[in-house]
Structure 1
């Protein structure tokens, strides 16, 4: 039998520690090697137990989750951390945790009762498995993009198009690096799907908006899809597009209901290809699984271009690997070079006549 994934569960609630431990222990490939009641206790347990993955509450006495993440980083320990938090109580802390290196989020039920806590079982098991695939060497604080922007590109005003971006595990940090580098006069709208729980995508959009030159919003049905705006797909529903009175607008759709992810990168890419055709530049960033591969095929068939993040910079080289191995990637680019690569695609598109043909 393959080696089990060793997990440390950190939460100040004894009830949650027991419940999360039971969820993980009920899965053959996971093993809970210990629990901790706060950040100080967790630091001692990390040293003694050397877990592969940590699940972490954020609001705790003595040393909270953010303090624990910073201490872990200062000690030079590169252990993937899955935050388990209530969005309404710890949303801002959750965003700070992502900035501090947490790789994924799971939303705890607001009512911590036996009949509700187990609703997150599938999510937390999936996130722990995904986090375990992370390369420790790439678990680092994201490079500071605040002082960096790439040069603007002149694109004909009549040219329709879209930059469509998909990400999962490690994606929030990658987006936090990539999107602030797009200049205020970036000529195309941007649409983003990142796998996050319900309750966190709006907070994440606000977080990005505070550091980006472009306006970042969580998409609502009917939101204009226009240059100068980055639309983040809300958790729990797919982001598509339709023609409005004054141009293309966002269309939120619960269908298809099957599949692992909603919103899905596949659905975003397919909708973008249908609406914008050869004017689409697709970007697949770090994440586990293959979401984005089927959509990339459709995007390529419509004449669009596809950039995949290189293994060297991915926290989890799953989604980009799937796209590359399927033969759909036009370019494979490390995260540090991705902003420039996007601009080069727009420059090449302009040279071809502005419509991607």
Structure 2
């Protein structure tokens, strides 16, 4: 918990949204809105003067948009930025924003001056407070394929038939480094749950597919788990794995269970994968807030599988890995 309030700059070209976002944030005594800005150029000046801990950022703005602000600000001083956007209108821009260094995003329920904007209050406050604790050096602003493959601390060859991975805050940047580092002849399939609002996962999967040697797709009902393929759970639906009568392992999508904090849930994927693959499953938990994946990881271990948790030193948010390690 911060000793002083988290200082936030609210950036949006709509005066109504600036007012509402500021009002929502200041309802939490641990947050102080130190200023607002109407576009990216205004925001660059305000950041230099006000020195906020976190910036909330709209993407479509006159003079300088959110992407322009991110690229220029990250050259001047890296700081946590949360995109506040509408998926249906700005999906491609959100993917660009994550590549440019934004650490998280909150989906606006509407572009109109409507009371519905208040629906994001709880999510926005939680993400702002989490972002305030992110160390600047953990924020990645580049997507590149490493010259050499990443070290692979996995069980000896032949002991794993599939990999499942759960990730949240900081996930887009981390996956954009991890997935392109894997070889085209990866001998096992992967399934990934990344916490994202509806409207982004298809675009993000397509982006990963472009920069990777593997096939990366947003999972659809019946998609087969096969070597060299990565299935990304679609936002708003749980991804489970099941074995067909002819022995193939395929994706199953569902709205149930309804009582999980996230949909898709890492726990749902991990538990179903453990039931299918048993001891020949590798589960990976990476950066993210909360504890989604902890019970799923325990289930993988109970079936004899293996778990790897990301080290605190590289996590943007050491929440989900911590929950697994402490358990």
TM range (shorter): over 0.9
On the 8 A contact 2:143/2:173 being kept in 1, the answer is no
Number of the residue aligned with 2:242: 242
User: Which sections of structure 1, spanning at least 5 residues, go unmatched?
Assistant: 327-357
Q: Does 1:209 align with 2:227?
A: no
Corresponding position of 1:127: 127
Other-structure match for 2:282 = 281
Structure 2 residue 299 is the aligned partner of structure 1 residue 298: yes
Who is 2:317 aligned against? 316
For the residues of structure 1 that align with 2:139 and 2:185, how far apart are their CA atoms?
Answer: 32
- The number of residues matched between the two structures is 323
CA apart distance, 1:37: 0.3
**1:177-192 residue pairs with structure 2 within 5 A?**
177-192=177-192
Alpha carbons of structure 1 residues 49 and 111: separation in structure 2 relative to 1, 3 Å:
closer
Deviation at 1:286, TM superposition (A): 0.9
Question: Which residue in the other structure is 1:40 paired with?
Answer: 41
User: Where in structure 2 are the equivalents of 1:7-26 lying within 5 Å?
Assistant: 7-26=8-27
Task: Give the whole-Å Cα distance in 1 for the aligned partners of 2:313 and 2:150.
Answer: 22
CA offsets per residue over residues 136-172 of structure 1, 9 Å max, x none? 221232462254446999966xx87221111111111
CA RMSD across the alignment = 2.1
- Rate the CA distance shift 1:142–1:294 in 2: closer, same or farther, 3 A: farther
User: In 2, distance between residues paired with 1:30 and 1:267?
Assistant: 34
Does residue 196 of structure 2 align to residue 196 of structure 1?
Answer: yes
Shift, 1:179, TM fit: 0.5
User: 2:92 aligns to what?
Assistant: 92
What is the rounded CA distance, in whole Å, between the counterparts of 1:96 and 1:148 in structure 2?
A: 25
CA distance in 2 between counterparts of 1:61 and 1:198 reads: 26
Contact kept? 1:191, 1:232, Cα under 8 Å: yes
Q: Distance in 2 between matches of 1:147 and 1:197?
A: 32
Map Cα deviations across residues 85-126 of structure 1 (whole Å, 9 max, x no partner): 122222121111111111112222244241322222222222
Q: Distance in 2 between matches of 1:184 and 1:239?
A: 24
Contact 2:143–2:176 under 8 Å retained in 1: no
Distance change in 2, residues 1:143/1:211 (3 Å): closer
- Deviations 1:270-307, CA, capped at 9 Å, x for gaps: 11111111111111111111111111111111111111
Paired with 1:181 and 1:113, the residues of 2 have a C-alpha distance of: 44
How is 1:71-150 mapped onto 2 (pairs within 5 angstroms)?
A: 71-75=72-76, 77-142=77-142, 144-145=144-145, 147-149=147-149
Corresponding residue of 1:337: none
- TM-score, with structure 1 as normaliser: 0.85
Q: Which residues of structure 2 form unaligned runs of 5+? A: none
Q: Secondary structure at the match of 1:17?
A: helix
8 A contact 1:11–1:57 mirrored in 2: yes
